[in-house]
Structure 1
Amino acid sequence: MRVSSVTMYEQSISSMNRQQNDFLKVSQQIASGRRVVNPSDDPQAASRAVGVDQARAVTQQFADARVSARNSLAQTESVLNSISDAITSAKTLMVQASSDTLSDADRESVASELRGVYETVIGQANATDGNGRHLFGGYQDSTEPFVRKTENNETFIDYVGDGNTREQRIDASRLMKVNENGESIFNSVPSGAGYVAEADAGNSGSVTFSGPQVIDNEDNEYGDSFRVTFTSETEYTLESGGEGSWSEVTTGKSYAAEGSVIEAGGLRLELKGQAANGDIIEFAPADKMNINLFESFEKALAVLENPAQNDSDKAALRNTLNTVMREFDNSLDNVLTKRASVGARLNELDVVDSVGGNRMLNYEQTLSDLVDLDYAEAIGDYSLRQVGLQASQKAFADMKGMSLFNYL
């Protein structure tokens, strides 16, 4: 077979180009740090790498969402801590105001301090996060959830937010609440909050109460509400029910101003003082009585800022302070329950973060195994390709210089 000079030339060019292409490919791998520079380098690995990279991106999005959720929950927990401290201060002031040694001026001083605590609680209830959204407004977080209103010459705090709670997806299978709405914090009591007694604001007698205490849990199972209505200075009627629908339990029961005990539905209520016809004292489960924290402040301020001029005023003062102290206890328990819930969610975020971090490491390792370069192997291959290219170039140069005319 005759091999022409053109054939030898073309084969040498082709061999040199192939060596140069292999050398360039290794150079690109070393420069990029990746074994798979183009999908054609390893189609199967490139395809799997796309899926792993997408899963890693989703995991990173969840990690970013957890950062946002953590910030929101941390701010909520901080505000709830401030609110619990404020309620504790208010309860301390109630104990101080209950002392019989205080004068009207002393109680006004206590009321002034209590009003400062009250304004602090209102401010915390309208607290915002770092983005200017109100923490406790539910979905209505662009405006203050608690506003001061006046009706019939009475000022009160009204909740204008909604009952929803903002949620955020922190993982593929977990949707987490990232705040609490104001209704559940400031207008609610925890389950099992106990019982509260309250004297009617229109009472003209000087009857004071102590309790109620639970003396029989079995009789107390259904959580009935009771109302004591005095029909004279020495007799009363006991009714059960609530919300405008009352039915008589006993009627014409004797009452002694020196002290009487009423037992009903597993509860015990002690009464003492001079009764007047029409006086009413109600005792019921805490969730059927006043559950509004702001109203508790208003009731306490109303009696502390007004002088107790007679026995009826003093009885109203003592009864109101006793009621408000129980309401503060229930509100504090509720806030602490909400704070514990927020803390549990913060702990859960730590756990999910740990799992997500391990998942990210697995994705990184898998992606590295698929497309990353083994530098030791690549450098050895680079040196080999370089020698091969140099040999190809030398062979081409030698072949090009060969001619029969050199031997003539």
Structure 2
Amino acid sequence: MRVSTVTMYEQSMNSMNRQQGEFLKVGQQIASGRRVVNPSDDPQAASRAVQVSQSLAATEQYGEARVSARNALAQEESVLDSVGDAIASAKALVIQAASDTLSDADRASVASELRGVYETVIGQANAADGNGRYLFGGYRDGSEPFVRAADGSVSYVGDASARQVRIDASRLMSVADNGETVFRSVHPSAGYVAEAGGANAGSVTFAGPRVVDETDPGFGGAYEIAFSVTGGSATYSVNGGPAQPYEEGSAIEFGGLSLTLKGAPADGDRIDVDLAENMNTDLFATFEKALAVLEQPAGTDAEKAARGNTLSTVMREFDNSLDNVLTTRASVGARLNELDVVDSVAGNRALNYEQALSDLVDLDYVEAISEYSLRQVGLQAAQKAFVDIKGMSLFDRL
């Protein structure tokens, strides 16, 4: 069979082009550090690499979400710390004002200091993060969550929900608590609170209530202690029950509770006792009650008794509000700890993804350099063969 010169040229060119293509491919792999530069290099590995890359990208995205969540929770924890200190200071001032040795002027001075603490708490309740969103406003960012009316009362206009962020594929975490939960609620374990019912005209005061028997069948219910005075003889009844003789300074027991009474009641006076969650749970209303009695001079025994009872109730409400703030702060701390745990787990997961991705597409440089040298020799051989074949001619023999 006769082999034409064109055929030899074509075969030599094809061989040289093939060797050059293989040589360039290995060079591209070495330059990029990847075994799979194009999907056609290894379709199966390329397909799996896409899936692993997507999982790795999602893990990194959740990591950024955790950074945002950690910043929000750290800001809330700082504000709650300040609020807790403010409530503790407010209670100390109320205890000071409850002393019988203080004059009305002294109490007015304490009230002025207490009002400063009050304004601080309102400011903290309306605190915003670095993005202009209110920490305790829920999803409502257009206005401050706590607004003050013309009569001085503070109301909550924020959202009832708590902002949430997905920190992992299977975990949706609250990164803030709404103001209703922090400033207008008490912990379920807050216990009982006593409060003078209406405008009592007598000088009776109370201390407590104190829990003496949680197993009592009536424990957990609400109670109304009503006083009746007839012919100089005072009696009391609990929830409309039989009248009992009133003895000043003695403790009365009902529903597993004990309440110590002092002073002289007037006919129709009343003391209400109920679980804290059913009484006033608004921290700002507690401040308003304390300021109202401290800024108003008390001249009569009834006014002094009303002031004492109000301050006693206020101290118990401050205790409950402080416990609620501390409980919320503990919850924030638990969520911050959880973020650290999720970070650790996500870090290990990301390392596994990166290792899997490396096994699929990364280059073995030792093997690639050996291949590179081999392809280089093959290309040089093809080029030399082409030169030799091109030089073959019968005219050189004539």
TM-score range, shorter chain: over 0.9
Q: 2:288 and 2:237 mapped to 1: Cα distance?
A: 29
Q: 1:95 and 1:375 mapped to 2: Cα distance?
A: 77
5+ unaligned residues in a row in structure 2: which ranges? Answer: none
| Secondary structure, aligned partner of 2:220 | coil
| 2:150 corresponds to 1:156 | no
Q: 1:221 and 1:170 mapped to 2: Cα distance?
A: 46
CA-to-aligned-CA distance 1:143-198 (integer Å, 9 cap, x gap): 11111113xxx431111123211212111111111111111111111011111111
Structure 2 match to 1:243: none
| Secondary structure, aligned partner of 1:227 | strand
Structure 2 match to 1:340: 330
CA-to-aligned-CA distance 1:58-102 (integer Å, 9 cap, x gap): 112211111111111111111111111110111111121122221
Structure 1 match to 2:246: 255
TM-score (norm 2): 0.96
Structure 2 match to 1:323: 313
Q: 2:348 and 2:371 mapped to 1: Cα distance?
A: 34
- Does the aligned pair in 1 maintain the 2:211–2:258 contact within 8 Å? yes
Q: 2:294 and 2:380 mapped to 1: Cα distance?
A: 101
Structure 2 match to 1:245: none
Give percent identity, aligned residues only: 68
Structure 2 match to 1:234: 233
- How far is the alpha carbon of 1:140 from its aligned partner? 2.0
- How far is the alpha carbon of 1:222 from its aligned partner? 4.2
Pick one of 276, 280, 285 that aligns with 1:290: 280
| Secondary structure, aligned partner of 1:158 | strand
Q: 1:185 and 1:6 mapped to 2: Cα distance?
A: 90
Q: 1:192 and 1:6 mapped to 2: Cα distance?
A: 99
Structure 1 match to 2:190: 193
- Does the aligned pair in 2 maintain the 1:220–1:267 contact within 8 Å? no
- How far is the alpha carbon of 1:16 from its aligned partner? 0.6
Structure 2 match to 1:166: 163
Q: 2:47 and 2:172 mapped to 1: Cα distance?
A: 31
Q: 1:390 and 1:205 mapped to 2: Cα distance?
A: 115
- How far is the alpha carbon of 1:221 from its aligned partner? 5.9
Q: 1:120 and 1:225 mapped to 2: Cα distance?
A: 34
Q: 1:270 and 1:222 mapped to 2: Cα distance?
A: 18
Structure 1 match to 2:137: 137
- Does the aligned pair in 1 maintain the 2:236–2:246 contact within 8 Å? no
Structure 1 match to 2:40: 40
Matches within 5 A, 1:385-396: 385-396=375-386
| 2:263 corresponds to 1:273 | yes
| 2:180 corresponds to 1:183 | yes
Q: Which moved more, 1:304-313 or 1:86-95?
A: 304-313
| Secondary structure, aligned partner of 2:176 | coil
Note closer, same or farther for the CA distance 1:147–1:220 as it changes in structure 2 (3 Å cut).
farther
CA-to-aligned-CA distance 1:298-335 (integer Å, 9 cap, x gap): 11111111122222222122211111111000000001
Q: 1:50 and 1:309 mapped to 2: Cα distance?
A: 82
TM-score (norm 1): 0.93
- Does the aligned pair in 2 maintain the 1:214–1:220 contact within 8 Å? no
CA-to-aligned-CA distance 1:269-295 (integer Å, 9 cap, x gap): 111112111211111111111111111
Q: 1:198 and 1:164 mapped to 2: Cα distance?
A: 31
5+ unaligned residues in a row in structure 1: which ranges? Answer: 241-247
Q: 2:360 and 2:237 mapped to 1: Cα distance?
A: 81
CA-to-aligned-CA distance 1:109-131 (integer Å, 9 cap, x gap): 11111100000111111111111
Q: 1:234 and 1:120 mapped to 2: Cα distance?
A: 48
Q: 2:66 and 2:218 mapped to 1: Cα distance?
A: 43
- Does the aligned pair in 1 maintain the 2:219–2:257 contact within 8 Å? no
